[in-house]
Chain A
Amino acid sequence: MNFAGFAAAEVATLFAVGAAVITGLYLLRMRRRQVVVPFADLWQRVTAESDTRRLWKKLRRMFSWLIQLLLLALICLALGDPRPDAWLREPVTLAIVVDASASMAGVYTDEQDDAQAEPRTRLQAAVSRARAEVAALGPADRALVISAGTEIRVPAPLSRDAGALLRGLDNVSTTEPGEADLGRALDLAANAVSDQPGGQILILTDGALDRASLAAIDRCIAGPVTCQVKQFGGPAPNVAITAFAARRYPDDREHVEVLAEVQNLGEAPVSLTLDIAADGVSVGKNTLQLQPGARQTSTIRDVDAARTKLVARLLPPPSTELDPDDPTRGGLGPADDDIAYAIVPPLRPLKVALVTDGTNLFLEAALLTLEDHIDLSGVAMPEARPDHPILAEADVVLYDVGDNPLPALPERNLVVFDPWRRVDANFLIPRQNDITRPFLTEQLKDHPLLDSIVLKDVNIRRGTSFALDQGDQALVRSIGEPVVVLRTGSYQTVAFGFDLRQSDLPLRVAFPVLVANIINYFEQSMPGFVASVPVGARRPVKVAAVGLNADGLSSVEVLGPEPGENDASTTIPSEVVPLQDGIFRMRATQPGFYRVVAADGPHAGTEVRLAVNQASASASDLRSRLPELGPEVVKDEAPTPVPLSEGPLWTLLILVAAGLIAVEWISYHRRVTV
């Protein structure tokens, strides 16, 4: 306790003098008014007092004297302006960043807590800690609360009012699906407090963060603003649907194949049921046994494509029921990742252009077998200019030039066979060596382009190897030299270092499979193949991919899930998003079926659906990744509440004194104390 006004000695002197004066006044005999009456004996009899009452009257006088001394002491203390030590520190501006990601719905356990205590979620524990921080603020301190989910919200702006801050924390009660966007949240917090006195950032998280958020914390700690992290960990049992999609069969477009990937992110074996429904009708139910860390893929085949809305749910085994009080939900963990949505992709043929001299009937035949779901066009060699309309609109262009000169290539997805047949060719992947009778010795077995294919026995007369740049993938090698290369980028290029005519590959069963893999790969890797949009940051979505015609379209309206279509309790407002180059940027905060409506153009009003899922193993992983940043990142210093959050204290002292005076005045006039 310190005195900001009069010094302690001065206060003591004032009190001593005042006490002496008050005591002197009390020692003086009180002068009363004289009233002459004709019958004093009767007054004497009426006012006769008992001994007890007389003693109490004397004590009352003593009590009144003590009250006056107390009043004087309060006033003297108020003049001294006493302040607790906590109030004399430099003012603090605290930004409390609360992680509201899906993983914060997990159970929180603290070794210091009573084991019998009611289990809390990590978010509840974080909010409690935030309340404690607010309670610890001094009268000169300020704070703001930032909720970091997939959206960044500020429930309580920078304020000195603890009530407003606590009311803001009341609104941080539910987690949001997906990862916390801590990068933006910490940028906002840093901007808010960096110019303020005593700026501090407190991050309340469970540490189950993605790499971007970990990097943001790392930057925050290294930054100029004091940044502390408080971790709210706990058991991490969770099973999540990490992938859920449907695709039409290439050879049967009226049926789809549904794929769901379930991963056990906890540390105990889990038994569960995966239920997949199409338009509300269950189309498959699998019981899964997942060991810790295990990932299992379930496929439902031959689902009628007429059923366009698919929902996958994780349920407890049929023989058990979920205990509503069990925060781990029988080991399933938070519910956000136990449901996933998928839309049957729209039926749209892939535009494939084949630039050939017409001598490779094997390739044409392999492509023609896929003509049910591709739009195959042929372009003669002399006409194969980059601005050729067919080439300009094609999704994939295959160049089978033989010994002809390689024409100029368009900026499209390319498949080029033997580009370096001529040394003067101009191809984007450089040539490395000529190889005589190359043997295909190594191949990436897991790559989708080589799915179900073995090329090791293929006989090739001659070929060329490629010089790889950074990012290039050698799909097939001949004794270490890349012979088949995949270059990724805005457009992808698959280059074969040999001519099909100079090999027996077209005669093998693998050839049509290879062609089908190539077509499927481009079909699925194109932006147009939207399996689902993950919740979180804005992501580009091509309108053509979701089935909208981009001609004359400048904006789309994105509407959230209809009521009852998902498990969320909040309604997401619609949003009009502009288009640029046929792509709009979509931000989804809740899983479910979203609707995309053409806002203008000749097809205005056309509505398509789009699935939004959490579907992220990192978002569903409840284990903390903060240790990756080092052991010193997490602080666990409990805040020390100031004795009185409302100040200054002298006003309180004056209020108490005024209250005493009021009581004295009222009781005096009621003749209680005199």
Chain B
Amino acid sequence: MGLRTRLFGNKQPDRDSGQDSENLFDEAFLKQLELLQVIARRLFRGRNRAERKTRKVGSGLEFADHREYSPGDDIRNLDWNVLMRLEQTLVRLFEEDEDLPIRVVVDVSDSMQTRSGDKLRQAQKIAAALAYVGLSNLDRVGLVCMSGKVHATLPAVRGKGRIFRIFEFLKSAPRGGPTDIRSACKRIAAEAGQPGLTIVLSDFYDMEGAFDGLNLLRFRKHEPVAIQVLDPVEADPTASGLRGDVKIVDCEGGDGLDVTLSAATLKAYTEAHKRFCAHLEASCRSRGIPYFRADTTTPFDDLVLRMFRLGGILR
């Protein structure tokens, strides 16, 4: 494998990368995931009863309020104590426990598949883990694979038994194409019948539309969460040893760029990459969008069990 391949991977992404998701987690890790719960800062209206409190008053166990009895109400909910003391017919209302609509969006563009697809594999693992957490809490979890467009959508499913369907979806979903976060998010927001927690897993290598897409979801009442998956070698190529006159070609297409790679040039790129990521993070945090950075070299267990909990996306 040449230096170029080691640094930037093949121009044609490895289509088999990221498809060994059947072995994504071991049993012990799954047990740990079952103890976690995905946190939404806002309350979303669910469709099914579940373990998550909603604004909806229903048949939960916790008392919420009283209201006047009206014909047709279940007389079992009459507050007999009030009726006997005050001779008023009030019906007791209870909070409704519903599920949380969770949508995990995975960027499967070509930029995620460089360097043997490490970034895509890391994103798939994170997506599967978060989906499993959601399924364990009886939340409805849907998945979307997108690049510049939405490649495939897994409708929301419930129950831990659906995890294998999710694995299969991640494995078989089509991939490739240029990154266009804004277009993809626009489409996702339009197709989503119910807003919810939308977790976007991507390298966000979209100079103009990275933050716009997240902000669009926020406008559509979604609660977006940005998880930027990065390859450290791509972020900092100074130690790659690559020098000389090269033609830089984007893996997602476009004209080549004649560049003389010197130490100064590589250092300038590293600094520019840091500034790009910092700007994305600052933009997200200014709009209340949770932002996480997930390096491919960071152990996956540590990432899910520690960093996401510390960041408030899991508990």
Contacts and interface: CB of A to CB of B under 8 A. Distances in A.
Interface of A: 30, 32-47, 671, 674
B219 interface: no
Given A34-B256, A38-B114, A671 B262 contact: yes
Interface in B80-109: none
B272 A46 contact: yes
B248 A35 contact: yes
B205 to A, nearest CB: 4
B262 A47 contact: no
Interface stretch (B5-13, B153-161, B192-200): B5-13
A43 B259 contact: yes
A35 B8 contact: yes
Given A42-B276, A46-B272, A35 B249 contact: yes
Given A43-B269, A46-B272, A38 B234 contact: yes
Contact of A43 (B7, B245, B248): B248
Given A32-B247, A35-B8, A47-B259, 7 more contacts: A34-B256, A35-B242, A37-B250, A38-B112, A38-B251, A39-B111, A46-B268
B245 to A, nearest CB: 5
Contact of B246 (A32, A44, A45): A32
B260 interface: yes
A671 to B, nearest CB: 5
Given A33-B244, A35-B4, A42 B111 contact: no
A294 B248 CA distance: 101
Interface in B1-46: 4, 7-11
B244 to A, nearest CB: 7
19 contacts: A33-B4, A33-B247, A34-B249, A35-B247, A36-B4, A36-B114, A37-B114, A37-B251, A38-B110, A39-B111, A39-B205, A39-B234, A40-B257, A41-B207, A42-B269, A44-B257, A45-B272, A46-B269, A674-B245
B250 A34 contact: no
A42 B246 contact: no
Contacts of A44: 257
9 closest A-B pairs (Cβ-Cβ)?
A40-B250, A38-B111, A36-B11, A32-B247, A39-B205, A41-B207, A671-B262, A35-B246, A38-B114
B254 interface: yes
A37 B11 CA distance: 8
A32 B8 CA distance: 17
Contacts of B9: 36
B273 interface: yes
B258 interface: yes
Contacts of B269: 42-43, 46
A43 B272 CA distance: 9
Contacts of B172: none
Looking at A30, A36, A44, A674, the one whose CB has the most chain B CB atoms below 10 A away is A36
Given A36-B4, A671-B262, A43 B257 contact: yes
Nearest to A670: B262
B203 interface: yes
B298 interface: no
Nearest to A34: B247
Contacts of A674: 245, 260
B265 interface: yes
A41 B272 CA distance: 11
A64 to B, nearest CB: 13
Contact of B245 (A30, A39, A40, A42): A30
Which size class do B's interface residues fall under? 35 or more
Contact of B250 (A30, A32, A39): A39
A37 B251 CA distance: 6
Contacts of B248: 35, 37, 40, 43
Contacts of A41: 205, 207, 250
B8 A37 contact: yes
Interface of A is mostly: mixed
Contacts of B114: 36-38
Nearest to B237: A37
A671 B260 contact: yes
Most buried by B among A33, A35, A44, A47: A35
Nearest to A47: B259
Nearest to B115: A38
A57 to B, nearest CB: 9
A244 B158 CA distance: 139
B249 A37 contact: yes
Interface string B230-250: 010010000000101111111
A40 B259 CA distance: 11
Contact of A42 (B11, B207, B254, B262): B207
A373 B313 CA distance: 140
A33 B245 contact: yes
A573 B9 CA distance: 88
A331 B244 CA distance: 79
A666 to B, nearest CB: 14
Interface string B249-293: 111101011111110010011001100100000000000000000
A268 to B, nearest CB: 79
Nearest to A31: B247
A606 to B, nearest CB: 89
A317 to B, nearest CB: 81
B10 to A, nearest CB: 7
B272 A36 contact: no
B44 to A, nearest CB: 34
Contacts of B4: 33-36
A36 B244 contact: no
A46 B262 CA distance: 12
A40 B114 CA distance: 13
A36 B249 contact: yes
A39 B260 CA distance: 17
B122 to A, nearest CB: 14
Nearest to A36: B11
* Most chain B Cβ neighbours within 10 Å, of A32, A38, A44, A671: A38
Contacts of B10: 36
Given A47-B257, A671-B262, A32 B245 contact: yes
A40 B249 contact: yes
Contacts of A30: 245
A42 B8 CA distance: 14
Contacts of B260: 671, 674
A37 to B, nearest CB: 5
A35 B110 CA distance: 15
Interface string B125-144: 00000000000000000000
Nearest to A32: B247
B33 to A, nearest CB: 30
Nearest to A30: B245
A42 B234 CA distance: 12
Contact of A47 (B7, B8, B265, B276): B265
Nearest to A44: B257
A43 B256 CA distance: 11
Contacts of A35: 4, 7-8, 242, 246-249, 261
A671 B246 CA distance: 13
Nearest to B269: A46
B1 to A, nearest CB: 14
B265 A46 contact: yes
B178 to A, nearest CB: 11
Contacts of A34: 4, 11, 246-247, 249, 256
Contacts of A46: 265, 268-269, 272
Contacts of B246: 32-35
A224 B276 CA distance: 92
A90 B247 CA distance: 61
B262 to A, nearest CB: 5
A39 B261 CA distance: 15
A674 B260 CA distance: 8
B258 A38 contact: no
A269 B89 CA distance: 158
A674 B203 CA distance: 33
Contacts of B250: 36-41
A238 to B, nearest CB: 76
Interface string B217-228: 000000000000
